[in-house]
Amino acid sequence: MTSRNTVLLTIFLAGSTVLALMLPFLPLPEEPIGFMVFLGRFHPLLLHFPIVLVLLTLTFEGLNIYQNKTHGKHSKVSFMVGPLLLVSVISALVTVVGGYLLYRSGEYQGELVRQHLWGGVLLLLALNGATFFYWRSRFGKRNGIQIPHRVFLLLAGALILFTSHLGGSITHGQDFLIEHMPRLQAEKPAPVEQKEPQDLLIFQDLILPVIEDKCQSCHNQYKTKGGLIMTSFAGLKKGGDSEKPLLVANVPSESELYHRITLPEDHDDKMPPPEKTPMNDDEITLIKWWIQAGADIEMKLGPEPPDSISMLLEHFLPKLYQSERLKMRQEKELEALGEELAGLGEEIGLVIELDPEYPGYFAVSMQIPPATVNNQSIGKLKPFASLFSKLSLPGAEIDDDALFDIGKMSNLRNLYLPKTCVNGEGLIYLKNLILLENINLSNSCLTNEGILNLIHLPEVKTVYVWGTDTDTLMLQTLRAHLPEVEILEEEGAYF
């Protein structure tokens, strides 16, 4: 490497280091810029490149060390380490910037996402260090000293695992990588106590279950819409990006929580939004009463609540107790069912796990690296059809015949079939899936004739058709007849 190239490399590494260190501290915009969001959504595709490149570099460096130790010479692939490190740095830089732009969009927020961002930044710094010391050992004054770049390379390998684990937790739920790790001793579930009515904590035992059911799918530590986390009292007190107080003691009308849940159904700020299950009158009355009474986390129901609340609780509490008992039973059943489905998934080349966005249901996705998944594989899911809320099969060897079995998945909400042989003829099999909201058919074999079957799916909200054989005139005609459906010439999400 010439002295000029060495200087250019040093400037590039220094620049990427400074940029990486700046990203976590840059202020987030009040309104995301559309083009930046577009670029950020490439992050799930880009992230695979640095993972593969770093692991490949580690493998080649390991072979080099082995050859040196056993035969006293470099391995045949040792010349690849330097170029691989350079490409790894470039791919990591692009991936980190893409991840940051996705973070800026507000679609993913929370502490776990911040940790994932920092993991990517530290990975880039470790790769910069490995690259710098590698080329310095080859052409610098300390020619031949390999230890520093190998230390940084090992650190990069560890950070790849750490950051990938966090990314998997964000996408698939917390502890995604380790949840099925064998335990030395099985933990026994603690019995759940059913309190007497007067001992019930109003927030913990009455209000929080309502919020958990109606609000937390969009306001949790993985998905914090509006910067709001509603999994705890502290999260409610902190509020969200609007900086309006969710809870104003004794004044429901000034409490953003009560204000949002009592807006007219057609109001843009109504919560929960129209596509979600709204709060019923009893739940709204209970929240209003609690706020009027002071919105205190320690407040108990007591032996003599107001008559209006006593009447409400006569039919609210039995449902609550039944729900809690059902939840306990379901948690035990889901644990056993999850193990059974995970085993079935391994058998047919799929990953089956609980869907963090829709508790109690399961998400189906491709293994990494992908195994062969065909129509017969999907057929083996039929005994459990009602349990699936998401099906993500990019690149699977399936066609429209598989849609017949998918049409039995009555609780399916998201269907991702990009890069498959589905031409659309079988879309009519999905007409009874009243919960289905999103379909991705980008880069599939979708045709003009096949896409016409969308008219049988009035509940679907979004369809992605980028890279298919459908033409502009057909898409315009469908948009005119299906104004409630977004038919997007975009690649869309794969999972």
Q: What confidence score (pLDDT) does residue 295 get?
A: 92
Arithmetic mean of pLDDT, 177-187: 51
Cβ count near 398 (within 10 Å): 23
Output 67 or 287, whichever has higher pLDDT: 287
The DSSP line for 413-434 is: -EEE-TTS---SGGGGGGTT-T
Percent residues over pLDDT 70 in the chain: 85
Q: Is the pTM of this model over 0.75?
A: no
Q: Please indicate whether residue 104 or residue 481 has the higher confidence score (pLDDT).
A: 481
Is the four-CA dihedral 138, 142, 145, 146 of positive or negative sign?
negative
Each residue's pLDDT tens digit, 109-157: 666 778 889 999 999 999 999 999 888 877 655 555 578 889 999 999 9
Taking alpha carbons only, the member of 166, 108, 168 closest to residue 368 is 168
- Residue 466 has what pLDDT? 94
Confidence of residue 38 (pLDDT cuts 50, 70, 90): confident
- d(CA 8, CA 12) in angstroms, rounded, equals 6
pLDDT digits (tens, 9 = 90+) for 299-344: 988 877 888 788 887 767 766 665 565 556 556 777 888 899 999 9
Task: Please enumerate in sequence order all residues whose Cβ is within 8 A of that of 200, keeping only pairs 6 or more positions apart, or say none.
Answer: 206, 300, 301
Measured between alpha carbons, how far is 61 from 118 in angstroms, rounded to an integer? 26
The DSSP code for 382 is G
Estimate the crossing angle of helix 111-139 against helix 81-104, to 10 degrees: 160
Could you read off the pLDDT of 265-297 as tens digits, one per residue? Answer: 889 889 998 878 889 888 999 999 999 999 999
Q: 334 vs 203, which has greater pLDDT?
A: 203
Give the three-class secondary structure for 171: helix
Sheet holding 350-354, edge to edge: 350-354, 362-366, 388-392, 414-416, 438-440, 462-464, 486-488
Does residue 235 register a pLDDT over 80? yes
449: which residues sit within 8 A by CB, 6+ positions away? 423, 424, 425
- CB distance 89 to 20 below 8 Å: no
On average, the pLDDT of the chain sits at 85
**pLDDT of 184 above 50:** no
Least confident of 98-102, 186-190, 381-385, 480-484: 186-190
More confident residue, 245 or 65: 245
Stronger pLDDT, 143 or 444, i.e. the higher one: 444
Q: Over range 202-228, report the average pLDDT.
A: 81
Residues 6+ apart with CB under 8 A from 31: none
Band (pLDDT 50/70/90 cuts) for residue 188 is: very low
